[in-house]
Amino acid sequence: MDMIQEYLPTLIKSSYFLAAILFITGLRRMSAPGTARGGIVWAGVGMLIATIATFLLPDMHNMVLILAALVSSTVLAWVSGKKVAMTDMPQMVALYNGMGGGSAAFIGAMALFNAVDHLGGCQAGTIVDTASSHDCLSGVTMVFAVVGVFIGAISLSGSLVAFGKLQGWIDKRYTFPGQHFFNGIVAIGTLGLGFYLMKDLNANYIWIFFGLSLLLGVLMTMPIGGADMPVVISLYNAFTGLAVSFEGFVLQNEAMIIAGMLVGSAGTLLTQEMAKAMNRSLGSVLFGSMGGSGGSAIEGEMKEIEGQDAAIQMAFADRVIVVPGYGMAVAQAQHKLWEMTQLLLDKGVDVKFAIHPVAGRMPGHMNVLLAEAGVPYDLIEDMEDINSQFKQTDVALVIGANDVVNPVAKTDPESPIYGMPILNVDEAKNSIVIKRGKGTGFAGIQNALFFAENNKMLYGDAQDAIAKLIQGLKAL
Partner 1 sequence: MIDGFIALYIFALAAILGFEIIRKVPVILHTPLMSGSNFIHGIVLVGAMIALGHADTTLEKVFGFIAVFLGAGNAAGGYVVTERMLEMFKPRKKKEDEGDK
Q: Which residues are catalytic?
A: 403
Stretch that binds partner 1, among 79-87, 193-201, 283-291, 403-411 (CB under 8 A): 79-87
Residues within window 389-418 making contact with partner 1, judged by CB under 8 A: none
* Pairwise CA distance, residues 280 & 283, whole Å: 8
185 lies in the site for partner 1, by CB under 8 A: no
Does 342 sit near partner 1 (CB under 8 A)?
A: no
Q: How far is the CB of 111 from partner 1 (least distance, A)?
A: 7
Taking CB under 8 A as the rule, does residue 426 contact partner 1? Answer: no
Question: Quick one: 244 or 286, whose CB is closer to partner 1?
Answer: 244
d(C-alpha 229, C-alpha 226), whole Å? 5
Task: Give the shortest CB-375-to-partner 1 separation in angstroms.
Answer: 10
Q: How far is the CB of 46 from partner 1 (least distance, A)?
A: 8
Window 247-266: residues binding partner 1 (CB under 8 A): 247-249, 251-266
Using CB under 8 A as the binding rule, whether residue 18 contacts partner 1 is answered as: no
Q: Does 292 bind partner 1 (CB under 8 A)?
A: no
Q: Name the minimum Å distance from CB 33 to partner 1.
A: 6
- Closer to partner 1 at the Cβ: 227 or 314? 227
Can residue 81 be called a binding residue for partner 1 (CB under 8 A)? Answer: yes
Minimal distance, residue 351 CB to partner 1, in Å:
16
* Total residues binding partner 1 (CB under 8 A): 124
| Residue of 87, 183, 221, 234 interacting with partner 1 (CB under 8 A) | 234
Residue nearer to partner 1 on the CB measure, 45 or 191: 45
Cα 41-377-364 angle, rounded to 5 deg: 65
What is the contact mask toward partner 1 in residues 115 to 154, using x (rule: CB under 8 A)? --x---------x--xxxxx-----x--------------
Beta sheet of 380-382, edge-to-edge order: 380-382, 350-355, 319-324, 395-399, 430-435, 455-459
Distance of alpha carbon 274 from alpha carbon 286, whole angstroms? 13
Torsion from C-alpha of 239, 244, 248, 250, nearest 10 degrees: 70
User: Quick one: which of 7, 14, 56, 57 contacts partner 1 (CB under 8 A)?
Assistant: 57
The answer to the question of residue 379 lying near partner 1 (CB under 8 A) is: no
- Dihedral angle at the C-alpha atoms of 39, 43, 44, 50, nearest 10 degrees? 170
202 contributes a contact to partner 1 by CB under 8 A:
no
- The least CB distance from residue 301 to partner 1, in Å, is 35
Nearer to partner 1, 84 or 345 (CB): 84
Query: Among 59-67, 316-324, 439-447, 463-471, which window interacts with partner 1 (CB under 8 A)?
Result: 59-67
343, 468 Cβ separation under 8 angstroms: no
- List Cβ neighbours of 19 (8 Å cut-off, separation of 6 or more): 46, 47, 49, 50, 53, 255, 259
Is residue 297 part of the contact set for partner 1 (CB under 8 A)? no
Among 9, 39, 164, 189, binds partner 1 (CB under 8 A): 39
Task: Give the integer Cα–Cα distance in Å for 221 and 241.
Answer: 18
Q: Does 325 bind partner 1 (CB under 8 A)?
A: no
| Minimum gap (Å) between residue 42 Cβ and partner 1 | 10
Q: How far is the CB of 365 from partner 1 (least distance, A)?
A: 6
Q: In angstroms, what is the C-alpha Rg of the chain?
A: 26
Q: Which of 17, 18, 21, 103 binds partner 1 (CB under 8 A)?
A: 103
Residue 187 CA to residue 287 CA, distance in Å, equals 13
Comparison of 28 and 303: residue with beta carbon closer to partner 1: 28
Pick 61 or 172: Cβ nearer partner 1 = 61
Q: How many CB atoms lie within 10 A of CB 57?
A: 12
Contact 246, 147 (CB under 8 A): yes
Does 56 contact partner 1 by CB under 8 A? Answer: no
**Positions in 344-363 near partner 1 (CB under 8 A):** 355, 357, 362-363
Single out the segment in contact with partner 1 by CB under 8 A; choices: 48-56, 167-175, 339-347, 415-423.
48-56
Interface residue with partner 1, options 267, 327, 400, 444 (CB under 8 A)? 267
State residue 305 phi and psi, 5-degree precision. -135, 150
Is residue 65 involved in binding partner 1 (CB under 8 A)?
yes
Establish if 87 lies at the interface with partner 1 (CB under 8 A): no
